[in-house]
Amino acid sequence: MNNKIVLIAAMVAASFAQVGCNKDKINPNEKGSLGLHFDNRAGNMDLTLNNAQGYNTPLNQQITISTFDYYISNIQLTNKDGGVVTLPQTYHLVKESDTESQEFTLNDIPEGDYQSITFLVGVDSARSTMPIADRTGVLDPAGAGAGMYWSWNSGYIFVKLEGTSPQAPLDSATNTRPLYYHVGGFGGYSSTTINNLRTITLPFGSNGDVEVRKDGEVSKLHINVDALKVISGTTNVDFSTNPVAHFGTFSGNLANNYTQMFVLDHIH
């Protein structure tokens, strides 16, 4: 009798073990999802648009931010074995003024255990040069992408930071001291021009690998984005001499700066 009980217990244990193995088994033909949340910050504080107190820069100047928008695209995931999965091309316009734009879900991800995420800040040359009629959603200059496209330069603004500063020159027409930082440039259509596309890779590190499974719980990456990094870091921008940056050589300094503005804070 005791031998029968032992045998039954062993069979039950083996059955549970088999269920566990099947549950953890990775099938790359099956697809799962992963959430992304971009939390816009100003240094160690939550970003608030048109904050009367403003924010201090490393040059001890002050900025009140009125607009902070940027494009995220060409997302890739690297699994724990070093394999890279390029996700179907999607383009996301993250706007501080639009809470819903700051969070989205990536679908059709092959099952796997992933150790990092890579994405492009901006809009790649292939999409920037295709017929306007074929650009939809956030890439539609007359629709959701309004204000993020230079019609005179046939290109997208990758990162837009606008505001005011008491250290900026006075605009006599408006009696304000505005700041305009519009960074774009995909490398040129028919000849080589400025290329401010930048690739960001965020290792998951101590957060551990992210498991993506067809029927598993959907993890969410919480990414802090420091708006002040656009005008500080490799180049600390002096508002008194550079209150504006558009399609010029100085914009490359801002592009190099904003490679540092993304930090993976935690994973849900």
Does position 13 have pLDDT exceeding 70, yes or no?
no
Backbone angles phi, psi at 100, to 5 degrees: -65, -30
Per-residue confidence at 151, pLDDT binned at 50, 70, 90? confident
How far from each other are the two terminal CA atoms of the chain, in whole angstroms? Answer: 49
Does position 189 have pLDDT exceeding 90, yes or no?
no
Contact present, 95 and 101 (Cβ < 8 Å): yes
Tell me the sheet residues that pair with 117: 77, 202
Report in angstroms the alpha-carbon separations of 35 from 98, 148, 180, 204, 220: 17, 25, 32, 14, 4
| Structure tokens that stand for 195 in this block | 């290329």
How far is the C-alpha of 5 from the C-alpha of 155, rounded, in Å?
A: 74
Cα 183 from chain centroid?
Answer: 15
Per-residue confidence at 19, pLDDT binned at 50, 70, 90? very low
The pLDDT score that the predictor gives to residue 79 is 94
**At 89, is the secondary structure helix, strand, or coil?**
coil
Over residues 197-225, mean pLDDT: 94
Average pLDDT, the chain: 90
Cα 13 from chain centroid?
Answer: 45
Cα 258 from chain centroid?
Answer: 11
**17: part of which helix (H) or strand (E)?**
helix 2-24
Does position 16 have pLDDT exceeding 70, yes or no?
no
| Across 28-32, 44-48, 175-179, least confident range | 28-32
How far is the C-alpha of 152 from the C-alpha of 207, rounded, in Å?
A: 44
Does position 227 have pLDDT exceeding 90, yes or no?
yes
Give the tens place of pLDDT for each residue, 59-80. 999 999 999 999 999 999 999 9
The pLDDT score that the predictor gives to residue 116 is 97
What is the dihedral sign for C-alpha 198, 92, 74, 212?
A: positive
Over residues 234-263, mean pLDDT: 96
The pLDDT score that the predictor gives to residue 133 is 87
Query: What is the CB neighbour count within 10 angstroms for residue 99?
Result: 8
Does position 115 have pLDDT exceeding 70, yes or no?
yes
The pLDDT score that the predictor gives to residue 17 is 46
| Structure tokens that stand for 76 in this block | 């890739």
Max alpha carbon distance in the chain (Å)?
Answer: 98
The pLDDT score that the predictor gives to residue 196 is 96
